[in-house]
Amino acid sequence: MSNTHVLSRFTRRHLRHIQHRGLVPQLPSADVDIPLSDHQVGSIWNNVQGDVFVLFPKVAENFIFFTISNAAQFKQDLKGFTPSSSLDTVEKLVKISSAKEQGAWVNGLVQSQIAFSRAGLNVLGLKDHIQDLRFDTRPMLADMKYLGDSGPWYTPFVEGGLHGVFTIAASSPDECDKATADLKAKFATSIVTTDRMTLEGRIRPAPNKGHEHFGFKDGVSQPALRGLVEPHPGQIQADAGVVIMGYPGDPVLDDPAAPQRPAWTRDGSLLVFRELEQDVVEFDAYLKEQGKHWRDFVHGADVQPPLTDAEGANLFGAQMVGRWKSGAPIAKAHFRDDQQLADNPDQVNNFDYSVQGVPGPTDRFCPFTAHTRKTMPRNLNPFMIPKFLESVAMVRGGIPYGPEVTQQERDTGASLKDGIHERGLLFVSYQSSLDQGFVRQSVPFANNDYFPLTSFSPVKHGQDPIIGAPAPPPVQAQASGVVPPTGEVTVRITNRVGESVDVAGFASPVPIEPTAAQPFFVTSRGGEYFFVPSVSLVKQIAGL
């Protein structure tokens, strides 16, 4: 073990009461081969902002979106802003672990972060392209349709033109709100922001703490960056550069023939923010209705004792998500939730989707369309190699927003849409490449009916039922010849002036009886792409 390692002053005892976290700092050890030099590790822990790969511990989190009204004054005001580093986050985790050992609660933990849009970087004079084509050429608003958003988008995203976002995370809502007010006062003469440009996230009250509004435990599966995060058994691992720019795994750095990023991007990351509204009452009603038919979706298994309708509803929800509400994977807990499995950090991610006696990919217990299987698939050999799947990994740091469901909503069976009772998830992800991370998980994976790849011939599975989007209606046409029942087919379409195009694909029979369309219960209300600068770059912008 190297004494020069930045975390050498900590031991496992310092962190033993936070082992349930999806992201636990990797401490130096003679038994651990760290693929980064001590200098690289030190730079990352000291210079990468604190939420990027280890995540702020928080009860409350505010996102203050803004535009810069006076660049010179903003740089002056920035001198009084100190972003939290990743090492700061580790020190707070140690405090939390120590307090838990004594059965106490830690107050006064406040963390801060800043990130800029492409427009914001331009205003500050950082006009060099960061060599991420999507970030460098368009805001998320331009990608609204491509991402499958049906909208409408809300303020502060629908207007476009955001320059940045401050993140304030704290151990209580009061501490978070006070720090937010102090920050707004500090930048009062250099930025424009309003109450509607501040989005408030809050951990749900017990017994739903750590669960999003549909009831599922959030943040169970996170990528362990090699040399930085201690991997639990089965946890997806990825090279540091998949999330942090300037290290192996960064697709730009790994391609020496490509134009390289500016030096100031090192230790930076790309932040994706999304406001995702959830129709909880309707989701619960859908599960309840489907739960009565649980025998139809257990593939003929002899489930003993038989499931109740309520258990069937929970099973149907678990098949939509890929995990039970406890966080236990359905690939291991097939028909009933398993809290003991969910509570074991060495087991909750230690699985794949293979089934003994079944060659190749199978949906025997977990549907191919399950949210977790769509967005971060496992064991897709020979159709996708593990290294490619690793490259898609991103760190997710979302937090719920909005109130709990009211009795009025339960009684009427409809979620209130009055500007007060809306609820959902403030989604955050970190990656070094938008197209490799968030966009790939969202469009080619989640919104792609033919993903995951399970055969050398295309097989249609359907959309991700959580973040997918309704497919456009099929084009109706009359055939002039024999309709092939199955197999490869080419359809020639001719318009009124005689112009023709050929559409090739695979035929599949249409059921005679119409089936209900897949309902969706998550609506994007907007978002933006941001660059999270290193701590040293924040100081450089401030002239320090």
How far apart are the C-alpha atoms of 297 and 200, rounded to whole Å?
Answer: 38
For residue 375, which phi and psi values (nearest 5 degrees)?
Answer: -85, -30
How far apart are the C-alpha atoms of 51 and 388, rounded to whole Å?
Answer: 25
Least confident of 147-156, 248-257, 479-488: 479-488
Query: Is 218 one of the annotated active-site residues of the chain?
Result: yes
Smallest CA-to-CA distance from 58 within 168, 219, 164, 166 is with: 168
Predicted local confidence at residue 492, as pLDDT: 75
Listed in sequence order, the residues at least 6 apart from 498 whose beta carbon sits closer than 8 Å to its beta carbon are none
- Decide the pairing of beta strands 522-532 and 224-225: unpaired
Taking only the tens place, the pLDDT of each residue in 108-121 is 999 999 999 999 99
| Token pair in block for residue 418 | 């009055």
Active-site residue among 149, 218, 239, 267? 218
Task: Please calculate the CA angle 287-288-290 and round it to the nearest 5 degrees.
Answer: 65
Q: Is the pLDDT of residue 509 over 70?
A: no
Predicted local confidence at residue 237, as pLDDT: 96
With a threshold of 0.75, does the pTM exceed it? yes
Q: What is the mean pLDDT of residues 521-533?
A: 98
Taking only the tens place, the pLDDT of each residue in 438-459 is 999 999 999 999 999 988 888 9
Taking only the tens place, the pLDDT of each residue in 124-136 is 999 999 999 999 9
Predicted local confidence at residue 506, as pLDDT: 65
DSSP 355: B
